[in-house]
Amino acid sequence: MRELNPLLHSQLRLGVMSILMNVEEADFVYLKEKTESTAGNLSVQLDKLSAAGYISVKKGFVGKKTRTTARITEKGRNAFVEYVDALKQYISMQYK
């Protein structure tokens, strides 16, 4: 039985990864709104996902305001697919 990836097996990080699997890129405000998280917490989790190489984070400016955008990397995509596969195994075990 494969173990669930601990980096993804957390509420907010999994939420972020699920969103980024569905859009090409998303900015910080969008992620904060969709995950209903606090800015500080989201920022920390984005750093963790970025450090693992699962997402790439780009910081830029729109006028005078900063804009942080995130997109999933190939490594992140593979990790998410593996996580879902492992999850399927766990769930099918429960129903056996």
Calpha distance 89→39 (Å, rounded): 34
Output DSSP code: residue 39: H
Residue 90 makes contact with another protein by CB under 8 A: yes
CA 31, CA 15: separation in Å to the nearest integer?
9
Indicate if the alpha-carbon torsion angle 73, 56, 16, 4 is positive or negative: positive
**Is 36 a binder of another protein (CB under 8 A)?**
yes
Query: Mask of contacts with another protein, 55-84, x by CB under 8 A?
Result: -------x----x----------------x
Residues that bind another protein (CB under 8 A): 4, 9-15, 18-19, 22-27, 29-30, 33-37, 41, 44-45, 62, 67, 84, 87, 90-91, 94
